């Protein structure tokens, strides 16, 4: 039995990310054996290899709730690469994966790639042949024949959706992804938002996923499509840039699942250099209205939400800063990439907290992120599944 004890000044532990002073996280193989204090551990007489992180603050490895392997939103014109070869996509993916892990992301949910590279990479990471976060993958994203979804593949009619859903599940995906609406946010409350997938098609995907007890996720900015997603029982609705006050109420009362927020692509002008001129125009035109819409979700204490970047690899902390700027409570924001993110992904029995019995995904930063989330920009120590990938 080989034990490792990580010492740090503080750790954010358990479901509520409570502060534990003079913390000791005891690791056995790939699991957390015990969360205790340094004094208690010393008094126990147990022998362990000590990793002393001094004044650092420990927290669970971060969960990126919305990424794509073949896209890198840090590169100008990145949306143009989607028709490149499998090999080119893999090269892009390897860099993004490594950068995510070095930024403290120990789990990443990839929501649409071509040719099942996400499924292959998940397997290669599991085997230790590729460095990156543990992946949750969706395989082929399904869009309407006439609809949006740059990484998606066109579908028409329930049988086409059913066929791809089953092919995806045959390949071993964790979640089925559909693209219900356009990508660009509405500019005003009166704007019409098209819906490219019918209610029956959405229900078919949900029915197929439920038959194997896997999750569903829908790209949906708002409009009629949002009502369809809630009614059909989609587990996680992505983006909701253009959700109306009435729809917030509907989600609050009827949606049993989650909302995953990826605000940066619309709200962060820092991402404009990486988008085409047409995209920049769309984002600028929808920015003020989206901020209004998203703020209502961030500030709603009855809605369960999580946070993702949409392929801005390793820059998850920027999304947390934006959430807080939109009025999100700090604790819920941090839970949105740890405890609650694990619940949304259906992996909370193994990840998302510093707690005995869970995977030893542990990261360290300079000070308490609940005082200032920006400290997550500089993650100085990363352990995933008991293995150290970044040390002081
Ligand atoms: Zn996406």
Mean pLDDT for 278-305 is 97
Kindly state whether residues 93 and 229 are assigned to the same domain: yes
Min mean pLDDT across 82-86, 155-159, 317-321 is at 82-86
HEC profile of 27-87: EECCEEEEEEEHHHHHHHCCCCEEEECCCCEEEECEEEEEECCCCCCCCCCHHHHHHCCHH
Query: Ligand 1 centre and the CA of 200: distance in Å?
Result: 23
The per-residue pLDDT for range 227-251, each reduced to its tens digit, is: 999 999 999 999 999 999 999 999 9
Kindly state whether residues 114 and 127 are assigned to the same domain: yes
Kindly state whether residues 341 and 283 are assigned to the same domain: yes
**Rounded to whole angstroms, what are the CA distances from 137 to 108, 116, 203?**
9, 9, 21
Q: How confident is the model at residue 149 (pLDDT cuts 50, 70, 90)?
A: confident
Two tokens, residue 206 = 């949900």
Query: Ligand 1 centre and the CA of 316: distance in Å?
Result: 14
Predicted confidence at residue 392, as pLDDT, reads: 85
Kindly state whether residues 50 and 86 are assigned to the same domain: no
Kindly state whether residues 277 and 357 are assigned to the same domain: no
Kindly state whether residues 317 and 357 are assigned to the same domain: no
pLDDT at 1 over 90: no
Kindly state whether residues 246 and 297 are assigned to the same domain: yes
**Domain count of the fold of the chain:** 2
Query: Ligand 1 centre and the CA of 29: distance in Å?
Result: 34
Kindly state whether residues 44 and 144 are assigned to the same domain: no
Query: Ligand 1 centre and the CA of 346: distance in Å?
Result: 19
Two tokens, residue 371 = 């005082």
Mean pLDDT for 333-343 is 98
Its pTM surpasses 0.85: yes
Query: Ligand 1 centre and the CA of 9: distance in Å?
Result: 37
Query: Ligand 1 centre and the CA of 219: distance in Å?
Result: 7
Kindly state whether residues 75 and 52 are assigned to the same domain: no
The CATH number linked to 112 is 3.20.20.140
Question: What is the CA 264 to chain-centroid distance, rounded?
Answer: 13
With H, G, I as helix, E, B as strand and everything else as coil, classify residue 291. Answer: helix
Percent of the residues in the chain that have a pLDDT greater than 70, as a whole number: 100
Query: Ligand 1 centre and the CA of 144: distance in Å?
Result: 16
**Nearest 10 degrees: CA dihedral of 246, 252, 256, 261?**
80
- Kindly list the strands in the beta sheet with 134-137, ordered across the sheet, starting from the edge strand earlier in the chain: 62-67, 105-110, 134-137
Q: How confident is the model at residue 260 (pLDDT cuts 50, 70, 90)?
A: very high
Mean pLDDT for 343-368 is 98
Q: Please, which residues bridge with residue 11 across strands? A: 20, 58
Q: How far apart are CA 198 and CA 369, in angstroms?
A: 42
Q: What average pLDDT does the structure give for the chain?
A: 97
291 Cβ neighbours under 8 A, 6+ residues apart: 267, 326
The answer to whether residues 380 and 59 touch, using CB atoms and an 8 Å cutoff, is no
Kindly state whether residues 286 and 189 are assigned to the same domain: yes
Dihedrals φ, ψ of 33, to 5°? -85, -40
Q: Is 131 exposed, middle or buried (0-12, 13-18, 19+ CB in 10 A)?
A: middle
Q: How confident is the model at residue 68 (pLDDT cuts 50, 70, 90)?
A: very high
Q: How far apart are CA 49 and CA 5, in angstroms?
A: 6
Query: Ligand 1 centre and the CA of 308: distance in Å?
Result: 9
Query: Ligand 1 centre and the CA of 196: distance in Å?
Result: 16
The CATH number linked to 370 is 2.30.40.10
In the structure, ligand 1 is a single-atom ion and the residues with CB under 5 Å from it are 310
Kindly state whether residues 217 and 316 are assigned to the same domain: yes
Query: Ligand 1 centre and the CA of 216: distance in Å?
Result: 14
Query: Ligand 1 centre and the CA of 249: distance in Å?
Result: 25
Neighbours of 87 (CB within 10 A): 8
Query: Ligand 1 centre and the CA of 155: distance in Å?
Result: 18
Domain that holds residue 369: 3-60+352-390
Query: Ligand 1 centre and the CA of 38: distance in Å?
Result: 42
Q: How far apart are CA 197 and CA 161, in angstroms?
A: 10
The answer to whether residues 26 and 3 touch, using CB atoms and an 8 Å cutoff, is yes
Q: How confident is the model at residue 2 (pLDDT cuts 50, 70, 90)?
A: confident
Kindly state whether residues 268 and 369 are assigned to the same domain: no
Question: What is the CA 325 to chain-centroid distance, rounded?
Answer: 19
Query: Ligand 1 centre and the CA of 294: distance in Å?
Result: 17
With H, G, I as helix, E, B as strand and everything else as coil, classify residue 377. Answer: helix
Mean pLDDT for 93-101 is 98
């Amino acid at each position: 039995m080989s034990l490792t004890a990580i010492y740090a000044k503080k750790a954010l532990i358990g479901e509520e990310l409570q502060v534990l002073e003079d913390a000791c996280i005891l690791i056995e193989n790939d699991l957390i054996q015990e969360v205790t204090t340094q004094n208690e551990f010393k008094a126990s007489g147990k022998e362990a290899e000590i990793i002393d992180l001094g004044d650092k603050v420990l927290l669970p490895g971060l969960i990126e709730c919305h990424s794509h392997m073949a896209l890198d939103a840090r590169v100008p014109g990145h949306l143009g690469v989607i028709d490149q070869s499998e090999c080119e996509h893999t090269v892009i993916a390897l860099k993004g994966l490594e950068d995510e892990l070095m930024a403290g992301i120990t789990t990443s949910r990839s929501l649409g790639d071509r040719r099942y590279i996400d499924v292959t990479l998940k397997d290669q990471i599991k085997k230790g042949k590729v460095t990156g976060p543990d992946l949750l993958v969706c395989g082929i994203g399904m869009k309407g024949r006439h609809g949006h979804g740059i990484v998606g593949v066109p579908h028409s009619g329930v049988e086409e959706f059913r066929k791809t859903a089953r092919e995806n599940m045959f390949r071993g995906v964790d979640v089925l992804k559909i693209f219900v609406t356009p990508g660009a946010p509405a500019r005003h409350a009166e704007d019409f938002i098209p819906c490219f997938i019918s209610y029956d098609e959405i229900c078919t995907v949900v029915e197929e996923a439920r038959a194997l007890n896997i999750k569903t996720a829908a790209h949906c900015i708002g409009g009629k499509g949002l009502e369809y997603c809630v009614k059909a029982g989609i587990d996680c609705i992505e983006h909701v840039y253009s959700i109306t006050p009435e729809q917030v109420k509907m989600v609050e009362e009827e949606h049993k699942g989650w909302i995953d927020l990826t605000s940066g692509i619309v709200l962060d002008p820092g991402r404009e250099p990486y988008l085409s001129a047409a995209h920049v125009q769309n984002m600028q035109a929808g920015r003020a209205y989206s901020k209004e819409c998203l703020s209502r979700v961030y500030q709603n204490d009855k809605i369960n939400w999580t946070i993702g970047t949409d392929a801005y690899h390793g820059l998850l902390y920027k999304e947390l800063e934006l959430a807080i700027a939109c009025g999100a409570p700090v604790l819920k924001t941090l839970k949105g990439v740890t405890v609650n993110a694990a619940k949304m992904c259906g992996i909370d029995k193994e990840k998302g907290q510093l707690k005995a019995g869970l995977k030893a995904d542990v990261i360290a930063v300079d000070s308490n992120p609940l005082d200032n989330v920006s400290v997550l920009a500089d993650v100085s120590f990363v352990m995933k599944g008991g293995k150290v990938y970044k040390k002081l």
